[in-house]
Structures are given as C-alpha cells and as structure tokens.
Amino acid sequence: MKALQWLFKIIPTILIALVLAIIVWFSSVTASDPNEEGLIPTPIPISVIGLNPDLILSGDIPDVASVMVKAPQSVLTRLINEPNLIKITANLSGLATGEHNISPQVDIAIGPTEVLRVTPATFTISLESIQTKELPINFSMIGNLPISYEAGEPQLSMGNVQVSGPTSLVSEVTQVIATIDLTNITANVNKLVDLRALNANGAIVTGVTLSPSSVRVEIPITQLGGYRNVFIKIITTGQIAQGFYLTGIYANPPTITIYTSDPDLANNMPTFIETMPINLNGADEDFETNVALSLPEQIQVVGDQNITVQVGIAAIESSINFSNVPVQYLNLGNRLKVTLTPDVVDVYLSGPLFLLDNLNFSDIIVTLDLQNRGTGIYQLVPRIEFGNELIKVDAILPGTIEVNISQ
C-alpha cells in the first residue's frame, strides 16, 4: 500500500521529466536541422483530375504552378533537388457546366512541410458540354493546271465528317473543306488531304476535333487532244577548239508543250523537237545562247519558242616531262665560282593539253637563287616558273642540288 502511494506521488515528477526530455530532444533536432522558407525553383506541373467525361475544358488552364514551402533544411533541400516529390492537382470533381474558380491542391510526399504560397493561388476554368455533329465534306481546287491539261471530277474516299468539341466551338463550324493545289500538276492526283473546319466567315475554327482528320482525293488529269509534251533535242555543228572537250550541253526548259489542230499529227510525232544548229566551231570556254526550234509544219509551241542552251567546255588535261634540263644559277657574288651537282634535272609538268603541246625544251628554265650566298656547300631546291598558272610543276628530280661556292 505504501509502495502504491509512493508511485502516485512520483508520477507527476516522471511526467515533468518526460516533457522536459522531449523539449530538449526537439530543441536539439531543431538546432541541427532548423526550419527554413524557400521557393521551389522548378515549376510544378498541374494535373487535372475528376473531369466529367461528358464535359470539356474550354479556355486555357495553367500548365504549371510555383510553390513556396516551410520545412526543415534537409527536407527543403531534398524538395529543391527532387521536385517530383511535389504534386499539384486541379480537382474538378462534381463540377457542372459554367465557369468555376479552382484552387490547386498541393501534396508533398515527405515532411514535415508547410505550404506557404502557391502561384497561381486560383484560376478560372470554363466547362462546356461536348457536342458532335456531322457535316458534308466540301472540296475546292486552287491553282492552275499547265496549258493543255484539264481536271476531271474529283472523287473523295468519304462524304461526311464528325465535328466534336465544346458546344460553343462546334456551333461555329458551318463547313468542313478539303483543298488541293493543282499548280503545275500534269499527272493523276491520288493523295490524302487534311480537312479544315471553317466558320461562316471562312476562318479556321480551332479547338474542335474532326473525324476523320483527312480524306483521300483522286482527280483524273488529262491532256487535251492536239497537245503533247516533247523533249528538246539540241543540234550542234562544228568542232570545239583542239585540246578541249564538251563537258555538257543542256536545254532550258528541257521539255515543251506543242499544239496542232490535228490530234493524230500530235500523237504520231517523235518524242522530241530539234533546235536550230548551234555552232561550236573553235569554242574554248563555257557559253550560253538562245536558239530557235525547228518546228514541223502545222506545229506550234505553247509559250516561248526560243530555248536557252548552256554549253560546258573544258580543257583536256595531260602531262609531259623534259629530261636533262640544265640548271641555271642567279645572283652569284663577285669573284665567286660555283659547281652544281648535278647540273641537270628532269622536269614533270601537267596541265591543259593545248598548252603542253606548245611547250618547247627552251621554255623550261630551272634556276637556283644564290643571293647572299658566300663560300660554302649548300643543298638548294631548284625552281621553275611559267607565265601561265594553268601549268603545274608536278616534280623536279632530283629535288635538291648540291651547290659548292668557292673563291
């Protein structure tokens, strides 16, 4: 009985001691890991939840929000380094059509934390009913086919399209159109064409979904009778200059459209039209010229009858060598003598054939410059120069000459 009385007497003391111990422990922890306030530098994505499947969001909703929290230093540091521990949601559960002010909810996976501020703290959304309506697909062709071509009746893979989206936007759509550009088209068309939703003013309505979003369009393209596309065949006369060759000859345009009142004549023609002859005699460089066409009787050209022809000409490259060419020295000092070993070299050259053909042995002058050279023995590199930079010195053998200068 006395022991029990004693125990009751000391219970207050024990409780006070426990409280003091907790306070000391908390103070110790707080001192080593103090609370800090900080803004999470990485914006946090906002997730939308609870949206009624029969409704649709219209207008813009913020993609991200910034968060300021208060937490122990270690927790704040981790949140800054791992922002994925923070989740922000916009809960739309139970909301009907109309405008609503939404306060984003913040959930943090670790603690202890206190959310001090979320930016934006609120935002306004608008919910609308989803509407779907069906419209016929209209088709339009823009651009002009080349002369002599015509387009047949277009065929679409389907005739109607479903338009879905917010009621306010779907009600704006008055037509859905597929447009194709026929500029310079000369073959049958078979391609997928994107559909566009338009309002009564012809402006595109965005924010609605079209199903399907594209349609396959087939359009037969035919050439009218009496018309035909033919290639240009370039006729030349004469020979280009000796030592040159033809690198290419091109017509611009390479094809033309011809016309005759007799469709059979057009169909039975060759696949080309010849130019009037172009004189290449003595040509030694590229040139461009306008040339007329040699047209058969009853044949006319649709458009310009003159053709531009580009002619490419280049020199034939070759090589040549000269043996035992004497080495000459220049600028030897007064009263000095010189001995060259060897005193002749072999010279290897390359360049345009017409230039090499005109070279003579006497044109090859190999020199050594002895300017400011006193007595002694030197290993010098011989030089050769031409007035024409098109000639290239491939080698001089040997590549060095022993030069002995004495009194």
Q: Are residues 219 and 265 in the same domain?
A: no
Q: Are residues 62 and 136 in the same domain?
A: no
Predicted local confidence at residue 25, as pLDDT: 46
Q: Are residues 210 and 137 in the same domain?
A: yes
* Separation between Cα atoms, residue 90 and residue 104, nearest integer Å: 5
Predicted local confidence at residue 295, as pLDDT: 84
- 118: helix, strand or coil: strand
* Separation between Cα atoms, residue 112 and residue 36, nearest integer Å: 12
117 is written with which tokens?
A: 């501020």
In a domain, 235, yes or no: yes
Q: pTM (2 decimals)? A: 0.47
Predicted local confidence at residue 324, as pLDDT: 92
In a domain, 182, yes or no: yes
Write the DSSP string, 31-96: HHS-EEEEE-SSPEEEEEE---TTEEEES---SEEEEEEEEEHHHHHHHHH-GGGEEEEEE-TT--
Q: Are residues 54 and 112 in the same domain?
A: yes
In a domain, 12, yes or no: no
The CATH number that applies at residue 281 is 2.170.120.40
Q: Which of 200, 223, 246 is the last residue of a domain?
A: 223
User: Given the structure tokens 């791992």, which residue do they identify?
Assistant: 82
Q: Which of 223, 258, 282 is the last residue of a domain?
A: 223
* Separation between Cα atoms, residue 365 and residue 379, nearest integer Å: 19
Predicted local confidence at residue 133, as pLDDT: 94
Q: Are residues 346 and 374 in the same domain?
A: yes
In a domain, 354, yes or no: yes
In a domain, 61, yes or no: yes
Beta pairing, strands 44-49 & 86-91: parallel
Q: Are residues 114 and 44 in the same domain?
A: yes
For the chain, the domain total comes to: 4
Nearest to 125 by CA among 173, 197, 62: 62
Q: Are residues 69 and 42 in the same domain?
A: yes
Predicted local confidence at residue 157, as pLDDT: 92
Nearest to 300 by CA among 252, 262, 250, 254: 262
Q: What is the domain extent for residue 393?
A: 317-406
Q: Are residues 205 and 242 in the same domain?
A: no
In a domain, 48, yes or no: yes
* Separation between Cα atoms, residue 62 and residue 85, nearest integer Å: 20
Q: Are residues 116 and 139 in the same domain?
A: no
In a domain, 32, yes or no: no
* Separation between Cα atoms, residue 144 and residue 139, nearest integer Å: 16
The CATH number that applies at residue 106 is 2.170.120.30
In a domain, 146, yes or no: yes
246 within 8 A of 312, measured Cβ to Cβ: yes
Predicted local confidence at residue 29, as pLDDT: 44
Predicted local confidence at residue 27, as pLDDT: 45
* Separation between Cα atoms, residue 175 and residue 138, nearest integer Å: 7
Q: Are residues 173 and 204 in the same domain?
A: yes
* Separation between Cα atoms, residue 362 and residue 366, nearest integer Å: 11
> Residue ranges of the chain with pLDDT lower than 70?
1-32, 59, 225
Q: Which of 292, 315, 338 is the last residue of a domain?
A: 315
Predicted local confidence at residue 48, as pLDDT: 92
Nearest to 333 by CA among 403, 384, 406: 406
Q: Are residues 271 and 288 in the same domain?
A: yes
